[in-house]
Amino acid sequence: MSFFNFASSLCLITFSLLLHAVFGAGPNFHFCSTPDNFTANSPYESNLNKLTSYLYYQSPPTGFGKGSIGHYPDQTYGLALCRGDVSASDCKTCVVEASSEIRKRCPYNKAAIIWYDNCLLKYSNNGFFGQIDNGNKFYMWNVHVVSEPAPFNEKTKELLSQLANEARATPKLFATGELELGNSTKLYGLVQCTQDLSSDVCKKCLDGIIGELPSCCDGKQGGRVVSGSCNFIYEIYPFVNA
Q: Domain containing 35 — which CATH number?
A: 3.30.430.20
In terms of Cα–Cα distance, which of 12, 63, 21, 24 is closest to 188? Answer: 12
What is the percentage of the chain residues whose pLDDT exceeds 90? 82
Number of H helices, E strands in the chain: 5, 10
Residues 6+ apart with CB under 8 A from 114: 27, 29, 30, 98, 101, 102, 105, 120, 121, 122
Q: How far apart are CA 156 and CA 221, in angstroms?
A: 10
Domain tally, the chain: 2
- Tell me, yes or no, whether 87 lies in a domain: yes
Same domain, 123 and 33: yes
180 and 207, same domain (yes or no): yes
Q: Does 46 have pLDDT greater than 80?
A: yes
154 and 190 in a single domain? The answer is yes
| Of 202, 210, 203, nearest in space to 155 by CA | 210
Is residue 11 predicted with pLDDT exceeding 60? no
Examine the pLDDT at 79 and tell me if it is beyond 90.
yes
Q: Report d(CA 6, CA 143) in Å as an integer.
A: 11
Q: Which long-range contacts (CB under 8 A, 24 or more apart) does 20-24 make?
A: none
Any domain includes 242:
no
Of residues 34 and 212, more confidence is placed in: 212
pLDDT of residue 240: 55
Q: Would you place residue 174 in the very low, low, confident or very high pLDDT band (cuts 50, 70, 90)?
A: very high
12, part of any domain: no
Q: Both 51 and 121 in a single domain?
A: yes
Residue 238 has pLDDT above 90, yes or no: no
State the pLDDT at residue 35: 81
Cβ neighbours, 10 Å, residue 165: 13
pLDDT class for 97, splitting at 50, 70, 90? very high
Looking at the structure, do residues 75 and 147 belong to the same domain, yes or no?
no
Is 21 within the bounds of a domain? no
For residue range 127-138, list pLDDT tens digits in order.
Answer: 999 999 999 999
pLDDT at 25 over 80: no
The span from the CA of 179 to the CA of 127, in Å, is 39
Q: Are residues 146 and 194 in the same domain?
A: yes
Contact call for residues 236 and 186 (beta carbons, < 8 A): yes
In a domain, 2, yes or no: no
99 and 75 in a common domain = yes
pLDDT at 242 over 90: no
Same domain, 122 and 160: no
Q: How far is CA 171 from the centre of its chain?
A: 17
Q: Which of 129, 138, 58 is nearest to 91 (CA)?
A: 58
In a domain, 211, yes or no: yes
Q: Which of 129, 150, 185 is the C-terminal boundary of a domain?
A: 129
Residue 21 predicted with pLDDT over 80: no
**pLDDT (mean) for 195-224:** 96
Residues 106 and 51 placed together within one structural domain of the fold: yes
What pLDDT shows up at residue 239? 56
- Predicted confidence at residue 220, as pLDDT, reads 95
The verdict on 125 and 142 lying in the same domain is: no
Distance in angstroms (rounded) separating the CA atoms of residues 87 and 191: 18
Boundary-marking domain end, from 99, 129, 159: 129
**Within a domain: residue 45?**
yes
Do 154 and 187 lie in one domain? The reply is yes
83 lies in some domain: yes
Domain containing residue 175: 138-235
Domain termination site, one of 81, 112, 129: 129
